Amino acid sequence: MNIKSALATAVAAIGLGLGLAVPLAATAHGGGLAPHEKSTVAPNGMSVTVGHTDNWFHNVAPLNNMPTNREVYLTNTSYGTVEGGTGKIRTGWFVGCAVDLDVSFSVDAHIGIDADVSVGVGVGSTGVTPYADAGITPSIGGGIGFDLSITPGNITDIQLGEKELPSGGTGYIVNRDYRLKVEGCGGPLTVQAYTVIEASSPEADVADWVMGDPVIL
């Protein structure tokens, strides 16, 4: 899985109709997600609150119209408060793909060969299964080379910011229309916001976190 991202506010989606038959899971098209908040109190009385709100996503068709690519715009506001100490918050998105794909072809055939090749990823009851179907007329010499490299999907931490928190104050990290692009993903892609708070005082250290609702693309 190859992940590319950039801050942006708009995108033009162009369908190129490349014809790669890769069945995919149902796609969510966008909307608002629920806010989350947690509070923790240390034995010495230091308290921390961490949360996020204004969590939105809007996915668009990839510019090259490849079914193994995803593009989504992400919005989130993270916040944290420390009473009786100092600390910081950090925020970002976890991005996980079911299967990472790397497909390549090479065709070497004589004039008159009747070659028919189809490549893709099928989704069945047991999961994602790659397939390749190559048919060549037996009476004519030729060769087709096909390589499909599959690796288990990884979870990538896309960190978007970190903020120091003064004692008694609330800090915010606001991200709007963050463009996330993922390439070479065979199967569902899951995106999930997170915010972590870490606080300290002479008597105690506290860490807590919240996770947003997962988005499956």
Q: Residue 47 belongs to a domain with what CATH number?
A: 2.60.40.1650
The domain tally of the chain equals: 2
81 and 38 both lie in a single domain: yes
Whether 22 shows a pLDDT value over 90: the answer reads no
Is residue 19 situated within a structural domain?
A: no
Whether 102 shows a pLDDT value over 90: the answer reads no
84 and 110 both lie in a single domain: no
Is residue 78 situated within a structural domain?
A: yes
127 and 190 both lie in a single domain: no
Binned at pLDDT 50, 70 and 90, residue 118 comes out as very low
The SS3 of residue 128 is strand
Tokens of 190: 């899951």
Give, as one character, the DSSP assignment of residue 111.
T
Is residue 23 situated within a structural domain?
A: no
85 and 158 both lie in a single domain: yes
| pLDDT in the model for residue 29 | 67
117 and 207 both lie in a single domain: no
Range of the domain at 195: 2-11+28-98+153-216
**Cβ-based neighbours of 8, under 8 Å, separated by 6 or more:** 73, 177, 179
- Give strand pairing partners of 157: 94
32 and 137 both lie in a single domain: no
Is residue 111 situated within a structural domain?
A: yes
Q: Which residue has the higher pLDDT, 137 or 175?
A: 175
72 and 37 both lie in a single domain: yes
90 and 163 both lie in a single domain: yes
Number of helical H runs and strand E runs in the chain: 0, 15
Is residue 21 situated within a structural domain?
A: no
85 and 113 both lie in a single domain: no
Is residue 200 situated within a structural domain?
A: yes
| pLDDT in the model for residue 154 | 78
Q: How far apart are the first and last CA of the chain?
A: 14
Whether 70 shows a pLDDT value over 50: the answer reads yes
Mean pLDDT of the residues in the chain: 74
Is residue 73 situated within a structural domain?
A: yes
Is residue 187 situated within a structural domain?
A: yes
| pLDDT in the model for residue 26 | 32
Highest mean pLDDT among 7-16, 150-159, 170-179, 181-190: 170-179
The rounded distance, in Å, linking the Cα atoms of 109 and 111 is 7
6 and 71 both lie in a single domain: yes
180 and 143 both lie in a single domain: no
135 and 38 both lie in a single domain: no
